[in-house]
Structures are given as C-alpha cells and as structure tokens.
Structure 1
Amino acid sequence: MDTAERDHRHARATDLLEGLAERDVVAVAITWVDHSGITRVKSVPLHRFPDAAAHGVGSSPVFDAFLLDDSIVAGRHAGGPVGDLRLHPDLDRLTVLAGQPGWAWAPGDRLDQHGDPHPQDERGLARTVVDRLAGHGYEVQAGFEVEWVVGQAGTDLFRPATTGPAYGHVRQVELSDYCADLIAALVEQGVDALQFHPEYAPGQFEVSTAPEDPVHAADTAVLVRETVRAVSARHGLRASFSPKVVADGVGNGGHLHVSLWRDGRNLFAADAPHHLAPEAESFAAGVLRRLPALCAIGSPSVASYLRLVPSHWAGAFAVWGVENREAALRLVEGRDLEVKCYDLSANPYLVVAATLAAGLAGVVDGARLPPPVGVNPSLAGATRLPTSLAEAVDAFERDEVLAEAFGEEFADTIVDVRRGEIARFADSTPEEVAHVTRWRH
C-alpha cells in the first residue's frame, strides 16, 4: 500500500467521522475470523479511526494458531511470539451497529507491515478465489443460512429460552420482542434477510440472507451472528451457534447457497434438465467431488461430527439431489446449490474460498454429476461424508486443488489447527465436547 493510498483512506475515513458521531458512535470494532471459526476483534475510539484506516491496527500473527478454547498450537508456520500484522478496516462495509449502541463495525483485511496481503488472511483468500473465477468469465452469488439457539443467561448449561414447538409460532410469540428487535436491527444495518423463523431444535431460530458477492456474503454472515449475539445479550439471553449445543440434540447448521453467473445469466436457472447449464453442472460436480476435503473447512470442529449424522437433515451423505434435504448438496431447482454439510464453527471466508475453488476446478475439468438421489440417501446405500474431523483433515491434505488454492503455508496451518483440536478432545465424551464448544461460536 503506497503513500497515496494511505492518504486516500485517511481522508475518506475522516469524512465519515461527522456522520458516525451524529449517530453517537464512540468506537469502531474491526473484526476478523480465525482458522477455528472464532470472530476476533480490535477496536479503536472514533477519533483514531482515520489512522486505523490508513495504517491499520496492530495484530499478532499468532492468532493463526489459536484453537477455539484460546490455546495455541505450535504450528509449522504459526504460533510463535514474533511478528506483527496490520488490521485494515474495509470502509465499504462500515456499519453502525443497531444491536450495540455506541459502536460501528467493519470487517478487516490482515496485511503485513508494508501493506501487502498476509499469506493466511482468510478474507483475502476468499477475494482471490472470487477473482480467479472472474478471470474465467464467471461471477458467483452467495448467501448463508444462520442458525442459533437462544438459551437462558447465567449458566454454562443450555436451558432453552422458549418452550414453543419446532417451527411453531408459539416460540416466536414467547420471544416476540426479542425477534422484533433482532429483525429491526438487521434491517437498520442494511442486512437483506430473506426470511426469519423458528427452527427444529429447542430454542432454535434461523435467518437466511440474500445472495450477494461471496466476500460480502461472508461479511454479512459475521454481522448477522454478532447482531444476534448482541440483541440476545440486551434481552438477558444467550445465543449459541455451536454445531452441537447438547450431545443428544439437533445442532446448528450454517448452510451455504451459491449460484454461478455468466453475462448476467444465472447458470443454475438455464433452459436445461434440472435448469443446470453445463457450467453449473460442472461447478456442482466439482464441489461434490471434493466434499470430504471441504469438510475440513466447512465442518471444521470435533463437534461438527456430532451433528453430521444421518436422519438429522445435516447433509451427511456425499450425494446431490433435487430438493433432497438429507443430501450434502441440495439443488434448489432454478435458483442455486445449497451445501448442507457446513456449520457455524466454520470461518465463512474459508468456506467461500474452498467451495468456489472446488467448483472452479469442476468447471475447468468439465466434470459431470452422477444421477441425483431422489430418496433418503441412507436407503440408497450412499457414501457417508467423513465421520470424524481426522478423516476430513486427511482428505484435505490429499486434495491438490485445495492445496493450490490455499498455498502451502495456509494449508499446513489449517491442518495443524485441526489436529490441535483433535488432540484437545481426544479423551472427551460427546457431552464434554458439547459443553466446551457450546458458547464459543
């Protein structure tokens, strides 16, 4: 980043100060999501924001080696005390937080001291893969489904804050003020929420966001989660996004919807069988082919594999189907592809990067889909996805496409962090895993 660019960012942020102050903003939170899926933050008082925009905020690269419990692995490329990065806020995504009065938020890009991209910057990797697709003439639209459960505050146990039934309006009535305040906060922040509803598990809700640029879709997923967390706290409640809140219950998913576009046309809405243009079929086939390896990114925690089981609509089978909610890939005919095996212990930027890299490889190879599965996959003898994080990590290490997309340093550190979590829970029961992870994501 040269002097002219720094001066431009400083001037632009300065121009924003008056409007932020008029809305009673006193500080700006600049977030990134680490390899373990935890949203980390550095904040600056409002008057320091122009300097942060121009020069970034100091942040140690040690966060690349953090586990979900804040322990640090001794990785091959991360985990030591030496070095510093600069966290630069994206001024285009600066948002006044309706759920946290006095605060604004911006996602951050992690750069080195010279303003060059950090090799393990998650948001930067997502942007790089999107640019690669653009180089082939394609655009992608993406959106996330965000699921969470609302529990009573004041305890590490999970006690649902509502007794209403699954999908029941009673649940929404019991927490009517909470739901209204949350929807209002999302709207005020410019989040285009397609729908909001109670979900299956006790105390569970879901928000689905509208399709947008994939990097911005990941930003929005972070913003939605932190808004849910803030509004819940203001109502004396506690939100959990864990893939397994209680060991014998239904967990939270974090499904990704993607569609491939060329020349303004959605290739998942073509005049073709299942509305799949050849490139859309190849894209979906590329994702399907790499699902075991993708699980190390999209289902990246030990708790993920307590959720990723048959008969829970978690997408536990390596198949695709038209509107088949037990398949890992659900084709929403005429609209997009839903990846159902992902959950919210994942870093959304890495989810976007890895999924799009797999899809692009399918397009380049001209991959083709097998016939869709139109029944419960367990009745069709379908192949399961990995049943443990260790299996997924092994598949990730073998995958050349993802290795190339991530680069050696980034890919190695992902493996080191995942194996660190595996070791952390090596002697833990499912109940202990659920207890430790319940309030971390």
Structure 2
Amino acid sequence: MATQPVYRNPWPLPEPPISKWMRFLSKNHNVKFVWLQFLSYTSNTYTRIVTLAKFTQMVENGQRLSISHEAFSLAPGDSLVDEELTDGSFSILPDLDTAYCQAHSEGTRVVIQCDCVDSTTGQPLERCARSLSRRLCAKLQSSTGLVPVIGFEVEVVFLKREPDAVTYTPIGWNHQWSTITQEDCTNLDLIEGCMSALETVSVRIEQVHAEAAPGQWEFVLSPDWPLRALDTLLKARDTIRVVARSFGVHATWHPRLWPDRPGTGAHVHMSLYDPWKGHEPKRNTYYMKKFQHFMAGVLQHLPAIMAFSLPQEISYERVKPGIWSGGEYACWGLDNKETPLRFIEENHFELRMIDGLANPYLVFCAMLRAGEDGIEKQMSLVTGQVETAPAKLPPAKREALRLLPKTLRESLEALENDLILNQRAPNVIEGHPMVSTYIAIKREEVEILRKMEPDERRAWLISRY
C-alpha cells in the first residue's frame, strides 16, 4: 500500500438522503435507471433495477424494496439450503455514498450498494456481512482507538470465449510478468481502457502490471477505510468486466485456470491507523503491540478464515507450495511470499490466502473478528515466523508449524468448530446464523460442482466469476 489514505472521520455526520441524492443528480444529468445491489454469500451480485423517478420517490418517502429471506440461503440452481428462511422478508437500504454511473452506460445507469435491514425496524440484519463490517470496525475503534485501512490487488485473466460457449482461451499466450510483449501490445487498448474507466468512476489505482499467467493482469487499488475499500473493490471488478465486454473479452477471477501456470488471487493488505490523530502509529509501542496481537489472531484463526477467503475447491489449487501464493502452513514471514501472512513493514501485512471468488465483506469480517480475538487475548507473534519457503525448512522446524486445510471441506469444518468466528460456546450445536447458513450453502455447492465434468465445472466458474 504505497499511498496513505486521506485522514478523516471514517463515519462522517449523516446528510439527509434526499439532499445527498439531489446533489448526485446535479452532477449526473443522464440518469435513467438505478441498480440496487448486495452481494450473496456465494459472491454473486443480487440486483434490483428501478427507474430514476421511482428511486427518487423512494428516497423522498423513505421507502425500501423488500426481498425474501430465501436470498440468504440459495445454493447454485436456486436450491434452498435453509427451510427456516422460506418465510418473511427483509429490506435493502441503499448507501448513497456508493452511487456511481456504470462505465459505458453513458451516464444512464447508477449502481448503488445496499445494506440488508429489518423491514419493520430498519436495523441491520445479523446476516448482512456489509453491515457487520461497519459494526466490527466501530467496535475495534472503541476498544483500541484504531481503525483498519485495507487495499486490494485485483488480479484478472482476460479470455476469449470460443463459439462452443464452453471453451475459453487467453487473449494472448506470449505473456510475461511485468513486461509488455509484442502480443500484449495488441491488447493495450483494453488495459488502458480499464484504467481510464476506473478513473472515471473514482477508483484510485496505484499501478497496473502484467502478471505471470497468460492474459493475466494486476490492478493495484489504493488503500482506504474498510467499507469504502470493500465497496470500491466491487466497483473495480464491475468496471473491468464492463470494459472487457466492450472489447468482446471475458474477464475472470478464476483462481487456477491452468495447472502449469500461476493462479489468480485477490491479496488484501491491512494496516491499523488512528483516524482522529491523523497518523499511522509507527514506532508507538502501545499501538504496535496491538497490531502484532491482531496479526497473531488472524494467523491463529486462519484455517477458519480460509472457508471464506478460499471458497471453492479449485481455490486450494492456487495456494500450493512453490508458486508464491501462500503455501500450506500457518506461518508468517518478513516479505516472504511463500507464507500466508506476509509481514511487509511494522504496521503493514498482506493476507495472500484469498481469491476473487470470495465475498470480500465476509473475509474482512472474519479477519477483523480474528484480529480482535488476538488483541483481547494478547496473542504472541513469536511463533510461526519463517525466512524461506516452509517446504524448504528442515523437517523438525516444518513439523512444528500447523498444517492449513487443503480442501474447502476441511476449511468449512475448521470454521464450524471455531468458537470465535462461529460465536458458539462448547457443546452448543448452533452457531452464528450467518456462519451456519454460509457453511450449509458451500457444502451444497461443493456437491453440485463435484457432479460436473471438469470442463463443465471450469466453464461454470469462469462464466460466474
């Protein structure tokens, strides 16, 4: 995270919604449609489309759209995994701070992220990961005086869809990390088109460079306060996909397209800041101890976090040893890309065990709760440090490290048994409703994908992610 964020209150004083909406429209004169969105547990975007007149009326009168509770428990094919969610509904509350005109829509289409709230009280639902992100940040600041700042690396592979509608091939095979090959030059309009579009929708990027896999590029987003960074990640992905489609190309976050080439991740960087004092707490003993406890908590709960951050079986093919993606042991290292936690500087670490198939709000909530547990229990970061690839360690040192889950099934089991992330006491079967439903959905999804042929499963994932 090369650029520091602008220091200001991450939760500014509220402005009347209609005033905020009119101010947005005064700068965007072509709006005709409004897309209201929220992200499912499977990281697919649920969308409701309304006209400008209808949405303006909704904002004026405080009206909200109603959604069935079933939305939280749908597996692929719209199969319901939780019968208790068949009754009732909730409302979606638009966050007007996230409004932007979608790229290549000529300003006619506005996209807005929404919170899921109780239809009667208007309070955030316990199952809403976006709302939970906000609450956990407020809780951490209340207890420590610190707020996380996060930034994402958006790795993407650009593919051409063949006429059979099943086969996808990269836009170029002659491709190499951080270089611009002759073949790449034929696709620079696409890459620079993405950069221009991101700038137009106010997504700040640090840099863009070629990655190692065919057709693979990385867009490094600037760091920001958590909710803005998470919303911006979704905006960036949407923008890249829209621009790619305008070039007749498909953008995918599939984590491992080819077994002999590097995979595609979505690494997240995190630091802790004091938003009121306006500085990064470097060399402050109190704050640095908090940061190290936080990082130790993430490492301690990493097997459970992986159920959210590596949400498909194919995700675990990307993080095998020897390909700079995180490896198979719970450990950390100073600027070591073969460890799941890469310690970059005294108040900056990178989680490498995450890909673009994950719901980023869920991943962040899990990281924050794990880090908070580390602070509360003053966990130590002394153990688990390695200076080389764990696979190259002497057997005795390697055996002292904890093995991480190698499949989604193992990660889901770790999450189910995690007393902090699943918020359940020993000998109590039911855990947090969001976690319980997520586990049920992912287990159903695993079975559905397992029945597919490899080529069908690959095409299914590419088409959705």
Partner SS state of residue 405, structure 2 = coil
Counterpart of 1:399 in structure 2 is: 418
Counterpart of 2:105 in structure 1 is: 100
Partner SS state of residue 169, structure 2 = coil
Conserved? CA contact 2:175–2:184, under 8 Å: no
Counterpart of 2:10 in structure 1 is: none
Query: How far has the Cα of 1:279 moved from its partner?
Result: 1.2
Counterpart of 2:96 in structure 1 is: 91
Structure 1: distance between partners of 2:96 and 2:379: 39
Does residue 1:434 correspond to 2:447, yes or no? no
TM-score by length of 1: 0.91
Q: Which of 378, 403, 415 lines up with 2:439 in the alignment?
A: 415
- 1:156-201 deviation digits (Å, cap 9, x = unpaired): 3221112332222125422111111110111111111111111111
Structure 1: distance between partners of 2:82 and 2:256: 27
Query: How far has the Cα of 1:327 moved from its partner?
Result: 0.4
Mean Cα deviation higher: 114-123 or 243-252: 243-252
Counterpart of 2:158 in structure 1 is: 150
Equivalence map 1:173-188=2 (5 Å): 173-188=185-200
Instruction: Structure 2: give runs of 5+ residues left out of the alignment.
Output: 1-13, 425-429
Counterpart of 1:357 in structure 2 is: 369
Does residue 1:296 correspond to 2:307, yes or no? yes
Structure 2: distance between partners of 1:243 and 1:276: 35
Counterpart of 1:133 in structure 2 is: 140
Letter paired with 1:195: Q
Mean Cα deviation higher: 332-341 or 287-296: 332-341
Question: Relative to 1, partners in 2 of residues 1:45 and 1:164: Cα closer, same or farther, differing over 3 Å?
Answer: farther
Conserved? CA contact 1:77–1:413, under 8 Å: no
Q: Which of 236, 250, 253 lines up with 1:238 in the alignment?
A: 250
Structure 2: distance between partners of 1:194 and 1:70: 38
Structure 2: distance between partners of 1:9 and 1:72: 36
Instruction: Structure 1: give runs of 5+ residues left out of the alignment.
Output: 1-5
Query: How far has the Cα of 1:265 moved from its partner?
Result: 4.0
Q: Which of 367, 373, 378 lines up with 2:379 in the alignment?
A: 367
Letter paired with 1:308: V
Conserved? CA contact 2:37–2:114, under 8 Å: yes
Structure 2: distance between partners of 1:39 and 1:248: 31
- 1:96-154 deviation digits (Å, cap 9, x = unpaired): 22343321211111112121212211211111111111111211101111111001135
Structure 1: distance between partners of 2:15 and 2:390: 57
Query: How far has the Cα of 1:428 moved from its partner?
Result: 4.7
Counterpart of 2:38 in structure 1 is: 32
Counterpart of 2:291 in structure 1 is: 280
Query: How far has the Cα of 1:356 moved from its partner?
Result: 0.9
Structure 2: distance between partners of 1:96 and 1:283: 37
Mean Cα deviation higher: 419-428 or 195-204: 419-428
Structure 1: distance between partners of 2:58 and 2:27: 17
Q: Which of 215, 226, 230 lines up with 1:214 in the alignment?
A: 226
Counterpart of 1:118 in structure 2 is: 125
Letter paired with 2:433: E
TM-score by length of 2: 0.86
Conserved? CA contact 1:198–1:206, under 8 Å: yes
Conserved? CA contact 2:204–2:222, under 8 Å: yes
Structure 1: distance between partners of 2:223 and 2:343: 15
Structure 2: distance between partners of 1:221 and 1:340: 16
Counterpart of 1:3 in structure 2 is: none
Counterpart of 1:197 in structure 2 is: 209
Query: How far has the Cα of 1:256 moved from its partner?
Result: 1.0
Letter paired with 2:105: Q
Query: How far has the Cα of 1:252 moved from its partner?
Result: 1.5
Partner SS state of residue 163, structure 1 = coil
Query: How far has the Cα of 1:296 moved from its partner?
Result: 0.6
Amino-acid identity (%)? 27
Query: How far has the Cα of 1:335 moved from its partner?
Result: 5.0
Measured on the aligned residues, the alpha-carbon RMSD in Å equals 2.4
Q: Which of 380, 403, 420 lines up with 1:384 in the alignment?
A: 403
Conserved? CA contact 1:357–1:401, under 8 Å: yes
Counterpart of 2:9 in structure 1 is: none
- 1:269-302 deviation digits (Å, cap 9, x = unpaired): 4378xx9921111111000000000001111122
Mean Cα deviation higher: 409-418 or 248-257: 248-257
Partner SS state of residue 255, structure 2 = coil
Question: Relative to 1, partners in 2 of residues 1:279 and 1:164: Cα closer, same or farther, differing over 3 Å?
Answer: same
Query: How far has the Cα of 1:233 moved from its partner?
Result: 0.3
